[in-house]
Structure 1
């Protein structure tokens, strides 16, 4: 289990580095395009194409990192009021449903990547292969699945540790 946690910590570090560099890229492109339009009176036509694709990557990786801490989507108003005995099964059910949804997202994103690879379709402005941008969806979904499972395991282990400490106190 310690090895799995170390691997997931490494994945999180890589995700954070990608998020920081992607955000900086969007900042530079957007500010540069505004400056170019207002001062030089020439627009950078490629920025919209690139910024939209990178936003997809940022959104999915940020959601993955949020799910690592259990902060993605949860109705804590409901789950916090549950009896202690039901909290663990509830978390497992929420994780299973979230993983199913994210696996469907992964599958359709991966299928779209394969279709784009087969078609050889390219983007309009940059003339890059479209599969590059579509690959952000399965990458983000895969990271999200890993982090959803990681949080569920951590939640269940924490619950088990609390139970064993209570038994020791008695």
Structure 2
């Protein structure tokens, strides 16, 4: 079957996923460097970096959210397909579209509430104890994740509807 050209949304989604991958790789390096520096400071200099544990947690949280967004781009997120696989092809397609649209709706609602949460005074004035930085910088990953995942989902729907989930008569 000849491959069809990607839509501009698909190309933008690929570029966004590449950016997310690069940021995730940078965070992995930063995480490793932070842990090595902390071990060196603790055991060689006898003066540990008091902020290292808190910053490491935030780095891991950012990496996890970015990794899930990348998985959504590649359509590799977790699914339970055992029962759906027993259905006839039209019902499988309907289940696919239902779950994709449900994910789009859930991410849109999460994005709406995440933005409201970030704008609330309880987050605005919350300070990371050992870093003495406002926590809202670290919490930005929640709306970023929702927005990028939403974009990845919306970008792949037209391509998926033409390829994997086409009717058998469309393939001739």
TM above 0.5, yes or no, is yes
Distance in structure 1 (CA, Å) of the matches to 2:132 and 2:159: 44
Partner of residue 166 from structure 2, selected from 152, 156, 160: 160
Match of 1:53 in 2: 58
Which stretch has the larger CA shift, 68-77 or 143-152? 143-152
Q: In 1, distance between residues paired with 2:109 and 2:142?
A: 11
More helix by share: 1
Aligned pairs (5 A) from 1:137-152:
137-152=142-157
Indicate whether 1:131 and 2:131 are aligned: no
Where 1:76 maps in the other structure, the secondary structure is: coil
Unaligned runs of 5+ in 1: none
Count of residue pairs brought into register by the alignment: 166
| Range 26-35 or range 142-151, more displaced | 142-151
Matched, 1:33 2:73: no
Contact 2:124–2:134, Cα closer than 8 Å, also in 1: no
Matching of residue 6 in structure 1 with residue 39 in structure 2: no
Cα deviation 1:55-103 (Å, max 9, x = unaligned) = 2211111111111222112112222222111122111111122223323
Normalised TM-score (structure 2): 0.84
| CA distance in structure 2 between the aligned counterparts of 1:52 and 1:104, rounded to whole angstroms | 26
Residue 13 of structure 2 contacts residue 73 of structure 2 at CA under 8 Å; is this kept in 1? no
Aligned-residue Cα RMSD (Å) equals 2.2
TM-score when normalising by structure 1? 0.85
Distance 2:156 2:64 in 1: 19
Cα separation, partners in 2 of 1:44 and 1:80, compared to 1, 3 Å: same
- CA distance in 1 between partners of 2:20 and 2:50 (Å): 28
Bigger Cα displacement from structure 2, 10-19 vs 155-164: 155-164
CA 24–39 in structure 1, closer or farther in 2 if over 3 Å, else same? same
1:66 aligns with 2:64: no
Kindly indicate whether the alpha-carbon contact (under 8 Å) linking 2:118 and 2:124 is maintained by their aligned counterparts in 1: no
Contact 1:88-1:156 at 8 Å conserved across structures: no
Give the corresponding residue for 1:103.
108
Mind listing any 5+ residue stretches in structure 2 that lack a counterpart? 1-5
How far residue 15 of structure 1 moved from its aligned partner, in angstroms, is 0.6
Q: Cα offset for 1:44?
A: 0.8
